């Protein structure tokens, strides 16, 4: 059974006090529960240490929003995988469309980051997705194939066991316009079949593929109940405790139903 992962990408939001005010009630609501989903929070770098401290000895995992592909050196402003491990990060988001759009990241750069993350025991959440223009031109599968082949180039079967893929249609990120359940399922089934061809069916069937893009408490269950949707990478709704908890609950319900 594939692991259902609900991850909150806070982006450039929440200072240290706001992090504390969010995580304490989240922790109190989830503590002691035997969850059927893996819950991950991805604060900004400045809040990783306090987040790690607050969530110590809980089942809630810590993730970072980015990292560089070198371990140390003269790379002003960058964060290394070694640094992320030192604050108990287990996950790192790589290749988000906002990194590609604003900071010029390419599939080749993301590929280098993925390999370095795995080398240091981090689980990369690798983002892929098409723009609205590409979807309207019927190029969704073409774009996804190019991105998947690029970001996974040269990975071994063993390394692939640590990879999570997040399908995030760019046109749905922060727009309030999410993919329909059928659109999400179609794209994520394509990704799984593509990975099966690149590696093998065992790798593909065990690969967690999240959906991301305007996930809300209202649409979460309909998305997460799809056969090839194995979780959510949540943006805006992950900034509010009640909303994030409702999405986690939707994931719980969908996960139990899939097991049965």
Annotated binding-site residues for substrate read 9-11, 174, 214, 235-236
Nearest to 181 by CA among 116, 124, 117, 232: 232
134 is catalytic: no
Closest CA to 254 of 215, 228, 233: 228
Residues linked to residue 61 through DSSP beta bridges, in sequence order:
40
C-alpha dihedral, 177 to 213 to 98 to 100, nearest 10° = -110
Q: Which two tokens stand for residue 30?
A: 């989830």
Q: Which of 98, 105, 134, 168 is catalytic?
A: 168
CA distances from 146 to 78, 129, 142, 179 (A): 27, 10, 6, 20
Q: Catalytic: which of 38, 96, 130, 252?
A: 96
Pull the structure tokens for residue 248: 């986690």
165, 204 Cβ separation under 8 angstroms: no
The two structure tokens encoding residue 218: 């209202």
Nearest to 119 by CA among 87, 75, 63, 163: 163
Look up 96 and say whether it is catalytic.
yes
Where is the binding site, in residues?
9-11, 174, 214, 235-236
- Among all residues, which ones are annotated catalytic? 96, 168
């Amino acid at each position: 059974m594939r692991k259902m992962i609900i991850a909150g990408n806070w982006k450039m939001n929440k200072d240290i006090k706001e992090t504390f005010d969010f995580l304490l009630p989240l922790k109190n609501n989830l503590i002691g529960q035997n969850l059927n989903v893996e819950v991950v929070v991805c604060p900004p770098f400045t809040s990783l240490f306090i987040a790690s401290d607050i969530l110590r000895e809980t089942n809630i995992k810590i993730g970072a929003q980015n990292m560089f592909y070198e371990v140390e050196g003269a790379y002003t402003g960058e964060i290394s995988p070694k640094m992320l491990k030192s604050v108990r990060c287990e996950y790192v988001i790589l290749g988000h469309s906002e990194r590609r759009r604003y900071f010029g990241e390419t599939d080749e750069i993301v590929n280098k980051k993925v390999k370095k993350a795995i080398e240091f025991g981090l689980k990369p959440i690798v983002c892929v997705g098409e723009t609205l223009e590409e979807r309207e031109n019927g190029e969704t599968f073409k774009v996804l194939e190019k991105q998947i082949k690029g970001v996974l180039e040269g990975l071994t079967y063993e390394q692939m066991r640590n990879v999570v893929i997040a399908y995030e249609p760019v046109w749905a990120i922060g727009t309030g316009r999410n993919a329909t359940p059928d659109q999400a399922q179609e794209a994520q089934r394509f990704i799984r079949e593509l990975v099966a061809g690149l590696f093998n069916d065992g790798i593909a069937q065990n690969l967690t593929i999240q959906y991301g893009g305007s996930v809300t408490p209202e649409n979460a269950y309909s998305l997460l109940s799809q056969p090839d949707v194995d979780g959510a990478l949540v943006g805006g709704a992950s900034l509010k405790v009640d909303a994030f908890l409702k999405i986690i609950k939707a994931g719980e319900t969908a996960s139990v139903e899939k097991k049965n």
